[in-house]
Each structure stands twice: as structure tokens, then as C-alpha cells.
Amino acid sequence: MHFGHGTDNARDEAAEIVFFAAGLEHALGVCAYAKILTAARRARIDALLERRIALRIPLAYLTRRSFFAGLELYVDARVLVPRSPIAELVLQRFAPWINPRRVRRILDVGTGSGAIALACAVAFPKARVDAVDVSVAALQVARRNQRRLGLQKRVRILRSDYFAAVGDCRYDIIVSNPPYVGRAEMRALPREYRHEPRLGLASGADGLNAVRAIFAAARRHLTRDGILVVEVGNTECTLLRTFPTMPFIWPDIGMGGGGVFLLRAEDLD
């Protein structure tokens, strides 16, 4: 078994299986332990466990839900299971790297389920957010989440190959969790990841194709004081070798995970 889709251990996944199958809110915490499970709910738990273990399907695809930055999102195999450490930076409103009160426009490149874009819209209630993805299937899921959260007015969801569809729009924050898995690493991924869309993971021989495309265009879509925030996970070392002179900032992520860099607009000149 591999745990890498929003939890990093068996115990947390077991809790999510039980709470989901028993129809309990996680907010109940240990109070839930006093509840008696009916035979039908036990059977539901067993069935979920069996599918999770036998087929190695990420749990979120079985429950069709995922939690991100305090939001409950609908997910299925059309999108990567949301798990980006960028959630923590969104909750901190990207402070201290930008003044949150001055943020008017945000772009999420490769939005998948819409997780980062929608969390940004909640964190910045006065901002307009554009969410782009090249995958039509992923955008269907993003729209479903947008409707569930009632964010149709401030979030615009567009099909776009990177920045192609945003015209000459400029943003205070461009954020992205792009595909960043290199060819060798793709071959070695645990079975769970094979259930996810390849388009959400694979990014050329060294894993940096998407990052290169973002670097090529981000500057002309950032405002003067804008910032670019990108997750590269464990492709961080390859990135540092490939771009040795770029002044990357690597924010500390308290909830765990890492591999998220930040650049100011002027650094991209």
C-alpha cells in the first residue's frame, strides 16, 4: 500500500474510510468513537477497504471526496487527487510575500479539480480568480466544485494550454501545481498513482517541461509586484541544477511536504 493522496499513513486513511462510510463528520473527532456502527455500515467499510487494498485505488476516488484548505471537494479519476502543500500558503494568503489586501487577480495554471483556485477565491473574497487547464475532463470536475461552493461569479474556468487563453491578463499571484514527474520516476511510481491522469503527473524526461513553459510566459502575465508560486515536489534538486542562478524562495510548509518555490516578478526579467 502507498499513502500519498492527502494522507501519509494508514491510520488517517482508515479514519476517513470509517467516517465516510458511517456518515460522520470529521469535526466530531473522538466523540464519534462512542457511536455504534450498524451491520450495514460495517459492510460498507469492509467493501471500501477491500477495493482500496485489492485495486490500490486512491481512497479519494472511492469516496469521491477530498479535503483541501478546509474545503470539501468532489473528485474522481478525471483529476489528480488534491494534496498540494500550496494549501497552507493559500490559508496564509501568501503573506509575507505579497500584501493580501492588494491582491485583485489570481491565476491557477493546471487547476485540475479547481482545488487551488477555489481555495484562493475563498481566501481572497475580493479577488477574481482564473483557473485554467488543458484537460476538458478535469475542467468538468472543476466546474462541479465551483458550483458546489457557489463561486461562479468570481472564478472563471477556462480551457487553456498554459497561458494561451488568458490573453494579455496580468495577475498579482500566479500559482501552479503543474505536472512535474520525470520519465524514470514515472516508471517507478506506486500503483496508486497509475489511477491518476498521466497528464497531471508526467512532464518530460526531467520533469521540468511544465515549469519551463511557465517560466517562458509568467513574467508577461504578472503585475509589477506580482509573485509566481509553483510546486515542484522532489523535482526541486533537478530544478536547482537546471536553473542555478534563479533566486528561488522556498517557504516553510508546517503541515508537511515542501518543494514549493516562489519568485517575484522582477526575478523573472
Ligand X SMILES: C[S@@+](CC[C@H](N)C(=O)[O-])C[C@H]1O[C@@H](n2cnc3c(N)ncnc32)[C@H](O)[C@@H]1O
**Residues found near ligand X in the complex (CB under 6 A):** 80, 82, 84, 110-113, 115-116, 132-135, 138, 160-162, 177-179, 199-200
**Nearest 5°: CA angle at 175, between 115 and 138?**
40
State which residue, 225 or 233, has the beta carbon closest to ligand X.
233
β 128-133/155-159 pair status = parallel
Omega of the bond prior to 178 within 30 degrees of 0, cis? no
* Least distance to ligand X, CB of residue 121, Å: 14
* Least distance to ligand X, CB of residue 66, Å: 9
What are 16's three cell numbers?
A: 476517513
* Least distance to ligand X, CB of residue 138, Å: 4
CB crowding 175-185: b at 16 or more within 10 Å, else e: bbbbbbbbeeb
